[in-house]
Structure 1
């Protein structure tokens, strides 16, 4: 085959780049030319994709807003709007916007409620899944959460039994929050914990059709899958070629996508096999998978096996990564707030917990902690500062008239997003102490502040499991600060982002408290 002469190839590549990137800037997307933003972002999604590849997209977008203002062009057809009005417009009920093609990179098997783009199909799926998160269903989850929390506390007791000279045992809390969250969602979504807390390591069974079961690091697999999917979602032209790229980020990420799907396949198969032949009068587990198995659509049809796996995988991702990241970050920020203002946060929190938890079990009961006002203030303030769902979730404008927002008009086909991290860290909204952990700010929160608080997204695609998340966080944070005293060793909470934002590590000291009941 004849190869092109390099003298000819160079000009051809320049011509292709000009036609692909430059001409659309002046023609198709000329209505966005006046918007400020990173230079490369005006012509392609490469700037956003590199941010995702480096695990810092949320920080890059936040920096762009600090430099350019509230409305920033971050991609060739993508505008980021960091205002409460943007949140209301972009994610509102009834606006008809679609999830962007970005979400297609997250599909493994068939689409789930998280990544399905068709509105009618999402409505069907959400009605089915919502039954698993009704108030009655959530109440039935507590025994499974409690059993895993007791195992977690037993391990922390063991760790705390070997203190150093300062009376505390040094530990990294991040992996232990991960083990607990994975085991809880394993119990809720698949019928059994993964056993991470008991083993004290990141390990899950994974299987693929026709292959023997293997064990893979579940949390690491999930993180790599999120990093890869976020990157390829922004750079879809790379998807067909990702396996051939020399950067191991892509080959490892693709392996993680398969392994994560395999974790769901193995767990669902094991659960369904264990229930086969069960007599009709036998008491069934009341968990997410059982409710999904019993669910029917409008025509009375149950979920197909591949859809069941995809929805269970959605719950695994949503219920493990977000809760583990958030729980660890809240612990850090409570301790950081106490370090900066000694005697103002931890004593108040522990006094509230000590009064509410009247007995002295290993763990708190949900009924004891679910309505504690200061605990809820600490949880909300921790979620504001960490923002585990930190990125702007992209939506595609629909309708011939487009949409108006922040004195700008965005025609049909424009991609809009609102970055939660930036909203949560805007001094104009929260005041000059925006970077400080101050739970009491929520006692007199303004309507603008409440509107800007976006830990679970907003509108019809908001997180369906947020009540379960609050329940888990109340139990974890309530139990931890009632049973233990902590000492924070690190000065900053560094984070790395896949789809959600994860603390890299959280080094602290731990010891048992002498609680008088």
Structure 2
């Protein structure tokens, strides 16, 4: 839709008349002001999305969105907007977000695929595609077909000894930590980094055939430390992409030292890939499936490097987020932690009896994990796709072609119209007895609205591996330790900021090894 001709004519006449009476600098400033007013008026009242609810300030300009993104409050700001305006909101002149269960299928499994929005997903010029940022569906499908066998249940059974190796090392390290702390008369620990240590070490072994040695050294490897320090910077890069000139200038002023750091960061992954590709020993790891596939049908060498670099992050940091969030809620709800402890300790008489097959049948453990995934989604918002050129209906609303649309998991998972006591940690909502009992407060919960691993052709390949890590780590820790809430030091998960990934803050717990085992 265009502005009415009479309105345009009037504005142009006013601009022309006013400009004649001003000096050059003032004329330019006046013209910019008029353009801003004109553009804002168009965005709010004449844009193809005027009927989508949302605040005028966000509809008029991209700036409120960018400020929210850079502050790290974007998922919380979206949640407040959803509470005020409903499940469908216009949060920029040309962008719409959704917090409705139908959005999973409408956006991620439509008849004509919505492609990833290049603003968020496009690779830097000259860089290879990875399975994460490959916008072309054919390229993505080729890569996914190669990697999928590395993440199925058959592969997981072969990888189970590797998982036990690192979970057992985690337990050993925490026992030693507890022993050292006891001599200093303290039993309170920040357990958050330990979850990152183990998830990165596991992926290092499964991806490259070698650990990052975080658990062994009780500290972050330099590559991982740099990764965490660059998360906020990624938000600034994404924000700059909305303004090509700003992005151009930003890339030009990046210090050479930072560029070298980025190259060194990438080179460490290249070196790890090189060493793994030269292994003569067969291993049941992820890379073995890439090696077994011809490059023309699978990955080029550059694509292997790019893919395993991003998988190291998404395959590790996200699982650590859920582990930390779930344990944080458990110590905040001691009655739920007691139920989980009773289930695990009654089921396994010895530490060595704990296996993935046995854990998969523990109803309360799996309910705890599902509730942790609901309240602590590792990806709080599914980054935008672009509606296909012909347009489409999403959650009952017609959206023009080319419009960026996204799913707000954080808002959806905490929506009281979908879940009873939506902000409370209540694993019982996932138990089958509660689901079928009409008298249960959870009978009408929309459990299918929770999709932490996404759906469709780009759903998370690593769901089986992630759930296995969550079960094994939580079960072995709860079997071996008694956990309690610290005095006045509980982390409020809702206060964590999001910079594409969830911000890391200390998760302090009181932890004591069980006696007389």
Query: Shared fold (TM-score greater than 0.5)?
Result: yes
Aligned residues of 1:106 and 1:229 also touching (Cα < 8 A): no
Equivalent-residue separation in structure 2 for 1:232 and 1:485 (angstroms) = 47
What residue in structure 2 maps to residue 385 of structure 1? 375
SS of 2:128's partner is coil
The structural deviation recorded for 1:18 is 4.5
Match of 1:231 among 239, 249, 259: 239
| Structure 1: 4+ residue segments shifted above 6 A | 254-258
Q: 1:164 to 1:158 in 2, by over 3 A?
A: closer
Deviation at 1:515, TM superposition (A): 6.1
Q: Does 2:333 match 1:337?
A: yes
Unaligned runs of 5+ in 2: 1-22, 436-442
Distance 1:132 1:86, change over 3 A: same
Question: Structure 2: how far apart are the matches of 1:90 and 1:447?
Answer: 24
Secondary structure in structure 2 of the residue aligned to 1:430:
coil
- Residues 234 and 373 of structure 1: is their aligned pair in 2 closer, same or farther, counting only changes over 3 Å? farther
Of the candidates 37, 42, 51, which is equivalent to residue 59 of structure 2? 42
Q: Which of the numbers 26, 32, 35 marks the counterpart of 2:49?
A: 32
Distance 1:273 1:503, change over 3 A: closer
Deviations 1:258-289 (A, max 9, x none): 7567445323423423653x5xxx53122112
Deviation at 1:434, TM superposition (A): 1.0
| Aligned 8 A contact 1:64 1:72 in 2 | yes
User: CA, structure 1 residues 233+10, in 2 after alignment: closer, same or farther (shift >3 Å)?
Assistant: closer
- Summarize the alignment of residues 52-451 of structure 1 with structure 2, pairs less than 5 Å apart: 52-92=69-109, 94-104=111-121, 109-163=127-181, 169-205=187-223, 217-221=225-229, 223-224=231-232, 226-232=234-240, 238-243=246-251, 259=261, 262-273=264-275, 276=278, 283-296=281-294, 300-338=296-334, 344-361=335-352, 364-400=354-390, 402-431=391-420, 433-443=421-431, 444-445=434-435, 449-451=446-448
The answer to whether the 8 A contact 1:202-1:219 is kept is no
- 2:374 touches 2:452 (CA, 8 Å); kept in 1? yes
* Aligned-residue offset at 1:93: 5.0
What is the alpha-carbon distance in structure 1 between the residues aligned to residue 516 and residue 243 of structure 2?
A: 54
CA contact (8 A) 1:394 1:415 kept: yes
Aligned length: 481
CA distance in 1, matches of 2:258, 2:40: 32
Give yes or no for contact 1:388–1:455 (8 Å, CA) kept in 2: yes
Aligned to 1:210: none
Deviation at 1:97, TM superposition (A): 1.2
Structure-2 separation of matches of 1:351 and 1:515: 16
The 8 Å contact of residues 343 and 362 in structure 2, kept in 1 or not, is answered as: yes
The answer to whether structure 1 residue 14 and structure 2 residue 33 are counterparts is: yes
Output one character per residue of 1:321-342: Cα deviation in whole Å (capped at 9) or x when no partner: 101111100100111122xxxx
Note if contact 1:495-1:501 (Cα within 8 Å) is conserved in structure 2.
yes
Q: CA deviation at 1:360?
A: 3.1
Q: How far does residue 399 in structure 1 lie from its aligned partner after superposition?
A: 4.1
- Could you tell which deviates more after superposition, 166-175 or 461-470? 166-175
Q: Which runs of 5+ in 1 are unaligned?
A: 206-215, 246-250, 339-343
Shift of 1:224: 3.4
Q: Identify which of 452, 455, 458 aligns with 2:452.
A: 455
For 2:468 and 2:293, locate their aligned partners in 1 and report how far apart those are by CA, in whole Å.
Answer: 24
In 2, distance between residues paired with 1:515 and 1:318? Answer: 39
Cα distance in 2 for residues equivalent to 1:337 and 1:412: 46
Distance 1:199 1:476, change over 3 A: same
Write the distance in 1 (CA, Å) between the matches of 2:95 and 2:269: 38
The answer to whether the Cα contact below 8 Å between 1:221 and 1:256 also exists between their aligned partners in 2 is no
> Per-residue CA shift, 1:325-374, capped at 9, x if unaligned?
11100100111122xxxxx322221122123333234x943233232111
- 2:471 corresponds, among 471, 474, 477, to 474
In 2, Cα distance between equivalents of 1:236 and 1:86: 30
Please give the secondary structure, in 2, of the residue aligned with 1:511. Answer: strand
Give 1:16 shift.
4.5
TM-score, with structure 1 as normaliser? 0.85
Relative to structure 2, which stretch is displaced further, 162-171 or 403-412? 162-171
CA contact (8 A) 2:147 2:290 kept: yes
> In the TM superposition, what is the alpha-carbon distance from 1:167 to its structure 2 partner?
7.2
Query: CA contact under 8 A between 2:146 and 2:298: conserved in structure 1?
Result: no
Distance 1:153 1:495 in 2: 27
Matched-pair contact (CA < 8 Å) for 2:143–2:299: no
